[in-house]
Structure 1
Amino acid sequence: MGKGRLKIALITGGSKGIGKALGTGLAKVGYQVILTGRHEKDLKKTVQEIVSLGYQKPIYYILDITNSGLITQTIDAIAAQFGRIDVLINNAGIHRKGTLDLSEKDFRELLETNITGQFLVAQAVVPLMKRQRSGYIFNVVSRSATVGFPGTGGYCASKWGLRGLSESLYRELTPIGIKVTALCPAWVDTDMANRAGSPLAPEDRIQTQDLFHTIEWLLNLSDGACVKEVVITNPLSL
């Protein structure tokens, strides 16, 4: 990615949980972090917290990843300011309990956010990475994309779809210098896990820092090494 040049990392769903932790970690190691999310109050709070740690001040954009027009505007603005995006972390997503008891509305929202939204962001960013002839895309998927858990069929379906999209991108883009990795963690210690009813105590869950360290390791691999997906599980929920 070129030593000595400021590296640009775009993180969707960057104001809380996994996205916030990844943004903080990348800012710590010298990236210009760009956060997106739907709520400006949460984005501002995260930016302030990162700055208070002495790291490069992140930029933020209010973004609903189901809005293709707004995605295009956001990526165009980033390209105009920085000329490139080195890392895309497709992290924004939602969780809903239920399988056939899900309402049609909830099922469609799961697919619209967890698959279509991720697709739209990648669709907007990849042309820029192709012009750069470099880049790294991390799709934050879930262990629910590897196991069809009972009671969460809608969520599992959306994440299996994202995992399939990620593998297709991996096979299409890696040969031209753009790496793609699907991150498939089990229960992570976040507010979303609390709302989803995680059976694990917070200390028994994957920590958000574990995901940052995973990404940091992947970013430091040589150009000759590529990783399609990483599945991270909990000792108590194998």
Structure 2
Amino acid sequence: MSKFHVLIPAAGTGSRMGSELPKQYLPLNGKPLIHHALSLFSAASRISAVHVVIAPDDHLWREYSAAGLDAKVSVHALGGATRAATVLNGLEAIAPQAADDDWILVHDAARPGLSMAMLDRLLDSLQDDAVGGLLAIPLADTLKRADAGQRVANTEPRDGLWQAQTPQMFRYALLKKALRQAGGAPTDEAQAVEALGYSPKLVPGELRNLKITYPQDLQLAEAILLADAREQTTS
């Protein structure tokens, strides 16, 4: 039976946050940002292993990583120059543990709002799929394309457009082949798989599964997690 492995690329600097700390170590409700994703995957019984790929010169992991997490979490200091390179290095590192038909769930370290319900929805939707897929949400806002002067050049039709989230879930062998052959720097794993001629499945995600990119995103994520805590207290 195929196993589920999580791979979290955490080798970036998060420059758009304007912080001296790499984004994955920024505090959120008293814990490093990456802690929230690690805690959820550690508590998920269907997940066999969680692999975090950090930069080779990352000296902050020991200080900022959450202690006492499940033993299924492993760390690899093999981060590359791009997200794709970091994920591929992680896949190479776990080769002794992952079979070709095992599932790999690649998740952003800066998405703390993933819920167990979303994770189960993804696993249930894709575990028998021929290709794999990703969490995503249909675009709701009108899209404007800007010109060089930041004026509207035209309005883009949003019909059929979805905003990609993570986890993105593909078979180990397929994902490794896709990233090895990817030209340029694909911005997510699905793009690399698409380049091989496959069509990943879109599984409905939720707005709460936002990626922390700018400082104001932390405030929204904090409100979401605090609401979760209050709901657990009253239930």
TM-score (norm 2): 0.41
Q: Which has the higher contact order (CA 8 A, sep 6+)?
A: 2
- Who wins on radius of gyration, i.e. which is larger? 2
Structure having the larger proportion of residues in strand: 2
Structure having the larger proportion of residues in helix: 1
